Amino acid sequence: MPTPFVNEPINSDWTSEARQKSMREGFAKVRARAKETRPLRVGNELDTDGPTIESLNPCNHSEVLGSVIKATREIASRAVEHAHDVFINRWRKTDVGMRARILMRAAGLMRSKYRDEFNAYLVLEAGKSWTEADADTAEAIDFCEFYAREALKLQGEPQPLTPLPGEDNNQYFIPLGVVSVIPPWNFPLAIMAGMTVAALVTGNTVVMKPASVTPLVAARFVELLEEAGLPRGVLQFVPGSGGEVGNVIVEHPLTRMVAFTGSKEVGLGIAEKCGKVVSGQVWIKRTILEMGGKDAILVDEGSNYDDAAAGIVAAAFGFQGQKCSACSRAILVGDAYKHVVPKVVELAGQIKLGPTEDPTNFMGAVIDKSAQDSILKYIAIGTREGKLLLGGKDGDKAGYYVQPTIFGEVNPDARIHCEEIFGPVLALLRAYTFEQGLDIVNSTEYGLTGAVYSNKAEHLELARRDFHVGNLYLNRKCTGALVGSQPFGGFNMSGTDSKAGGKEYLLLFTQAKLVSEKTSW
């Protein structure tokens, strides 16, 4: 049996010359493959022909990091059919111990051999800082290790049932079939890996369409799984557009389940498509939909204002605010407003913005031009809805930069308070009582994460009951959930609350089968 699960440590100290050298070697490995075109994986074949998708460095968009073959609708349909065939004839019949060992080998390879290569992909392709990149890689390692152990418990051990005289009863959690995995660009390793390996380790086959702006890290992860022993054909890799490839792998009658992380609009579209039974479909499709967030930190009067300000800034501007769990609004009760706002503005004003290949830069560019344009439009809206306290502009034209931006005196009905911006924009609001603050934090359509800073036990208890989010943090920031300890997923328009990284997550990729045999003993 494997050792008990423990979280992979995250490196936040890059002063070591050895670690800096390792990261530089990682950058060199990524760039050494810049002229390569990563193939499609459909069936047992590697397809290297066809149009391509180029991956750019968002901090220097003139740099091409590599490309992948772009799938067509026909290729995507064929990928689902191949995955179904492999599921029926091979993969569902494999031993769970073998599947778990593949995941643990993959985790070991990431940890000991390829960690800083994956970190380099995340820095160059997604614009993550070195620490944010290492946290992403550590989480991918955690997902592999954690889900391997949970699969052994779920599918490798007898499930407890109430004994019944004269019958031998057994419950099995069997795989579903073909799972279409559609991961986001903001955690292009961790979330992509987590959804993929959860499906694989429970005996499902996967058709994976990576995010079009971060396909290289996904392609590298597929290579890693094959090195760890995953048979070719179990995982189909089909980069392409959501409107073309994504729709095919969602709507195909042989698709049994869709695991998606991304925007509310796309997630709701997937829910609608999966709700329609098409010709040849003999099941109700299952979905995991992790969507948006408009996450709030509520600061009570008399709380630790220094801790609150530091938590707000870290949660609002880490990875350029491009996390579904990022703090995009802070609600400050009573006198907390006048104490906390200057501290937040001061701390955010010290943030270094620039290419994240330089480890001294805390913030890099946002992911692409479309994101930059959308964020700047919201900043323009914010200048009419609140008082601009910091930032409000773009940056070096070589990349898609947006300055850390803060608006004060924002009203609860303001668009910058209610709508997901997905960038480094923070709205600050006043509340006159703690109860009013709770009303404000619950006033949006989302319910993913939130945090409360308070020294009053009764207010913390009130928040436990009435702060309506899937992940609530007390006296700490609202980002940084750890696998195993803080299962992650939200309410309302934030998704289906699937609790990734939790003990129940793998149940979503299985169905329970009860076998009852009459006995004579």
CB atoms within 10 A of CB 92: 16
φ, ψ of residue 134 to 5 degrees: the values are: -65, -35
φ, ψ of residue 66 to 5 degrees: the values are: 150, -175
Q: 3-class DSSP state for residue 43?
A: coil
Helices (runs of H) and strands (runs of E) counted in the chain? 15, 21
Any idea which residues carry the catalytic annotation? Answer: 290, 324
Strand ranges (E), 159-254: 167-175, 178-182, 205-208, 235-237
φ, ψ of residue 496 to 5 degrees: the values are: -95, 10
Q: How far apart are the first and last CA of the chain?
A: 32
CB atoms within 10 A of CB 36: 14
> Would you state the structure tokens that stand for residue 190, as one six-digit string?
């961790």
Amino acid identity at 60: N
DSSP state of 244: I
The CA-atom distances, in angstroms, between 273 and each of 207, 265, 291 are 17, 13, 16
> Would you state the structure tokens that stand for residue 147, as one six-digit string?
């889900």
- The answer to whether 371 and 400 are in contact (CB under 8 A) is yes
* Nearest to 264, CA basis, from 240, 291, 285, 297: 291
- The answer to whether 183 and 133 are in contact (CB under 8 A) is no
Question: Which residues have C-beta within 8 Å of that of residue 476, sequence separation ≥ 6?
Answer: 311, 451
Q: Is 3 exposed, middle or buried (0-12, 13-18, 19+ CB in 10 A)?
A: exposed
d(CA 511, CA 503): 15
Taken in order 484, 486, 491, 495, the sign of the CA dihedral is negative
> Would you state the structure tokens that stand for residue 42, as one six-digit string?
């459909």
Per the listing, tokens 């494997």 go with 2
